[in-house]
Structure 1
Amino acid sequence: MASNRPAPQGVYVPNDDDFGGYDDDSSWEEWNPTEESIRPVRGRHRVHKRSGGGLARSSTVLGVGVIAAVGAGGIATAQGGKPPVAIEMPDLSAVTDSLPEAKSLPGVGSLISDDSDNSAAAGQNVAVAAAPLSAAGVSTADAEQGTTDAGEALRARIMEQAENQQDQADDAVQKAAEEAAVKEAAAQAAAKQSAAEKKIAAEKAAAKKKAEAAAKKKAEAERLAKLAKSFTLPVASYTLTGTFGQPGSMWSSGYHTGLDFAAPTGTPIKAIHSGTIKEAGWAGAYGYRTILELDDGTELWLCHQSSMNVSAGQKVTTGETIGRVGATGNVTGAHLHLEVHPGGDSTGVDPAAWLRGKGQSL
């Protein structure tokens, strides 16, 4: 282990005033510690490493400090004229195990490293480079790129932060725009879906209405078909020569009150529906007339017959012959005059419409 020259004890030399007889040229030696004296010996000498090299180096630094303190104390004692004080050096080996690693001490770890041995062997001095104060805030990347000016580095970092903040703001704006676009698309899709649903509902309603109308028409056709089996026209071959409500002076009421079927005299007249003969005989301007009463009370007047085949109170069925076409009464030619009186009312209704309502086609 390299060491410094031991510091000699200061020799107390009394002056003439105190003892009055000593010469000023008494010999004593003053040891002044200098950088050369405390610097570790370099060259071929190597520092012996103990296990836990950090503790060994710490011991070396502590020893150097103690020696320097002792030397300084000796000089002070010699110069002050006071008797020397004996300094007892503690046994450092007893506390080396409790000392911390030298590398963990501030300012020491950078001075002592494992590479110092190799540097000493090569005869080179180990120098610790301190970073310039103007390089505060300069990153490693800045140093590598040569931008070691503190102001420039600070400006660059501020600009970088500003760009980052601007990017974040742009991202937020873009995200908000995307969310708004998604909401708008969702609203449009919902509106389109609602419109499509309404259109489908309208189409379904129209189809349902159409189906209901078709079903109703079909039901009516079926009803008429069924009625057609129980109703029939009064004559098989005819020509319509007079309609209901037709005006004219030849009719006492001023208009035609029935429907005229022109046919040759003697053409068979059939019972339009099953019922009861309410009246059969002469009826003045109507000539020979037969009144057929149906089960619902409707009266059918068949007039101007040339002959009658039934009598009052007789039951007849649909299609049964009850008389023949003639020209009796107030007429201008052979025909069957038919009137329809619902409920036996004196005022009649249009026979053509009534017959069509019973499934008959004129």
Structure 2
Amino acid sequence: MASNRPAPEFSHAPNDEFGYADEQPWEEWNPTEESVRPVRGRHRVAKQRGGLARSSTVLGVGVIAAVGAGGIATAQGGKPPVHISMPDLSAVKDALPEAKSLPGVGSLISDDSTDDSGTATNAAPLTTAGITTADAQQGATDAGEALRSRILQQAEQQQDQAAHAEATAAEEAAAKQAAAEATKTQDAAQAKADAKVAAAKKAAEEAAKKKAEAERLAKLAKSYTLPVASYTITGTFGQPGSMWSSGYHTGLDFAAPTGTPLKAIHGGVVKEAGWAGAYGYRTVLELPDGTELWYCHQSSLNVSAGQKVTTGDVIGRVGATGNVTGPHLHLEVHPGGNPTGVDPAPWLRNLGLTP
């Protein structure tokens, strides 16, 4: 470190412009090792750490100017001037960037600043802080405007997402509704088809049943026959009247001329043939299943007890014997030989015969 050169001698004290008009005349002073020892206390100079920062450029320039003016420091109170040893900051000054070129600082110093070559220095405004490259590409120069633009863009994106979600939900709801309606229509069509199939099946079953019954009756008809070929029904089963001892009619009356042949309805054995009081002449024919057929009011008998007959054999003739009002066949049906008979009409129809 180079020592300061001696300060020039002044013939008189500085003028009172600097506040030193009453001071004693200045004397030449050459510092020694003892005199330049660091002063302790409030006059102590802080040690520099790591060189000067960029923000100290102005202060450094001021210090250099002060040293260049003479490198002399004065002390108040009549103390003699002291030569201060300062480092050469010219190299540091040249290495430091211009304060005006620092981003956000140049605009604070002067909007019309120029560098040493006379070229205007573009000061970066503080408002450019926070501006991304994408914002700069979109022409944004203000951080607030850039933030506002990003917020609006995010809001638009959220609105687009909400609209898309709403549209998607509406499409899904419409699809579900259409699927439900399609399923409902399909179920209705399936139910209708099933009903048609069930009806057709039922109709087919009924037709088959009727056909089977007709075949059965046709087969039975070959082995069964009506007792009279030509007749008129004049009395039915259960008909009330005082002329019958039971109070009602117990058989089915086939009116026909006297002497009309009476046929065996089915093959069987003659159980009895003869006079039976109010029934007149009566023939009882027992069928293989035990059912008894009573032929009453006959004019004559053609068979006797114990005789076997087949379907259609003549067993007697129409007459008006017993308690009657005219010639006819009174037919009674006694299943299992029971004294109480049943209605002969449905019994005959069950055999395929229509009285």
What's the TM-score bracket when you normalise by the shorter of the two chains? 0.5 to 0.7
Question: C-alpha offsets along residues 171-205 of structure 1, whole Å, 9 cap, x if unaligned?
Answer: 12322332233233333333443344344334433
- Report what 1:161 is aligned to: 154
- Report what 1:296 is aligned to: 289
- Report what 1:278 is aligned to: 271
Q: Say what the alpha-carbon RMSD is for the aligned residues.
A: 3.5
Structure with greater proportional helix content: 1
* Counterpart-to-counterpart distance in 1, 2:168 and 2:229: 87
Gaps of at least 5 residues in structure 1 are 1-17, 19-78, 80-124
Report matched runs for 1:329-340 at 5 Å. 329-340=322-333
Task: Specify which of 250, 266, 269 is matched with residue 257 of structure 1.
Answer: 250
Other structure's SS at 2:262 match: strand
* Counterpart-to-counterpart distance in 1, 2:121 and 2:350: 124
* Counterpart-to-counterpart distance in 1, 2:261 and 2:334: 22
* Counterpart-to-counterpart distance in 2, 1:138 and 1:322: 130
Q: Which amino acid aligns with 1:337?
A: H
Other structure's SS at 1:213 match: helix
Q: Which amino acid aligns with 1:164?
A: Q
Report matched runs for 1:193-208 at 5 Å. 193-208=186-201
- Report what 1:234 is aligned to: 227
* Counterpart-to-counterpart distance in 1, 2:169 and 2:129: 40
* Counterpart-to-counterpart distance in 2, 1:245 and 1:148: 119
Return the TM-score normalized by structure 1: 0.61
Q: Percent identity?
A: 76
Report matched runs for 1:165-204 at 5 Å. 165-204=158-197
Task: Specify which of 257, 260, 263 is matched with residue 267 of structure 1.
Answer: 260
- Report what 2:316 is aligned to: 323
- Report what 1:306 is aligned to: 299
Task: Specify which of 215, 236, 253 is matched with residue 243 of structure 1.
Answer: 236
* Counterpart-to-counterpart distance in 2, 1:126 and 1:288: 160
Q: Quote how far apart the aligned CAs of 1:213 are.
A: 2.4
Other structure's SS at 2:244 match: coil
Gaps of at least 5 residues in structure 2 are 1-29, 31-70, 72-117
- Report what 2:348 is aligned to: 355
Q: Quote how far apart the aligned CAs of 1:300 are.
A: 0.4
Report matched runs for 1:34-113 at 5 Å. none
Question: C-alpha offsets along residues 11-47 of structure 1, whole Å, 9 cap, x if unaligned?
Answer: xxxxxxx9xxxxxxxxxxxxxxxxxxxxxxxxxxxxx
* Counterpart-to-counterpart distance in 1, 2:290 and 2:137: 121
